[in-house]
Amino acid sequence: MAEPLFLQSVMQEKIWGGQRLKTEFGYEIPSPTTGEYWAISAHPNGVSIVANGPHKGKALDQLYAERRDLFGNSQSPVFPLLTKILDADDWLSVQVHPGDAYGLEHEGELGKTECWYVIAAEEGAEIIYGHAAQSREELAQMIEKGEWDALLTHVPVKAGDFFFVPSGTMHAIGKGIMILETQQSSDTTYRVYDFDRKDDTGNLRELHIQQSIDVMTIGEPANSHPDTVELVDASLTTYVSNEFFTVYKWAIHGELSMKKQADYYLLSVLDGQGELELDGQTYPLKKGDHFILPSDCQDWTFRGHLEMIVSHP
């Protein structure tokens, strides 16, 4: 019998974190500066544990190693994706991630292409998305002189926005924003600028200027264009589809039966409640649930009011 894999995952404290993972999603948080919930992760820095069914208690990385058949017999040596919810109570550092070639050569892990679905944003909230330098030399000069206002491209954001952030993109999530991030399973970040903030031991966080200049893309980032299909009881949006991941929003208001069209799916319920029917079993779903539909799930039905971000490699 095919079963979904519901997951219990790891919180990460960050100097820019807040309390909304508790107040908005009801998760237990370790401190008032909790920045990230690694909701679906097989990354060694925070691995999800299966919470139900025959694999209950198994770490996702271990399950991926032992039961590759549940993941489309994927050739990828590591579980390729990572889903996070971030609560930015303050600006994250201005940063860039390497691509796979640079990441594997210099850090021993994949690069990081990521994308963001904005769950909530305060009035006036902004991100940094791209930069104004016209060449690598100009980029290096502007960073060296600290010309941040001229260099960094600020973009206003609101709930429901989506941003595709390929490796090499200068970016920062701004104060007052909650996002769901779908990314390659990597934890390599090159910090360009950290607003001269000190951590709780009074130290500046490390910057990685040369690596940042090496991997930065010159030219404006190209955001993806969402494509929505309206059905009677659902609206299905595809945000982005590329060599790393495909990301959707499935908004269901009623009942929707689906057949599998990918090897496996990662799902995050961001709002509403309802149920999943699969192989004659019914599973309740509510805001804050994260689960995987593995490869043996052929078809299923969702019922209720559900807003989910869904992805697959």
Query: Which tokens is 199 given?
Result: 């951590």
Contacts from 238-245 at CB under 8 Å and sequence distance 24+? 239/115, 239/117, 239/162, 239/164, 240/115, 240/162, 240/164, 242/113, 244/80, 244/113, 244/184, 244/313, 245/80, 245/81, 245/113, 245/115, 245/182, 245/184, 245/311, 245/312, 245/313
Please pick, among 20, 67, 191, 197, the residue that the annotation labels catalytic.
Answer: 191
Q: What angle do CA 227, 243, 62 make, to 5 degrees?
A: 115
- Annotation says 197 is catalytic: no
Query: Which tokens is 27 given?
Result: 């998760």
Rounded distance between C-alpha atoms, residue 35 and residue 15, angstroms: 8
Radius of gyration of the chain from Cα atoms? 20
Instruction: Identify the burial level of 162 via C-beta atoms within 10 angstroms of its C-beta, where 0-12 means exposed, 13-18 middle and 19 or more buried.
Output: buried
Query: Which tokens is 89 given?
Result: 């109570």
- Answer for the pair 312, 248: CB distance below 8 angstroms, yes or no: no
Catalytic residues: 191
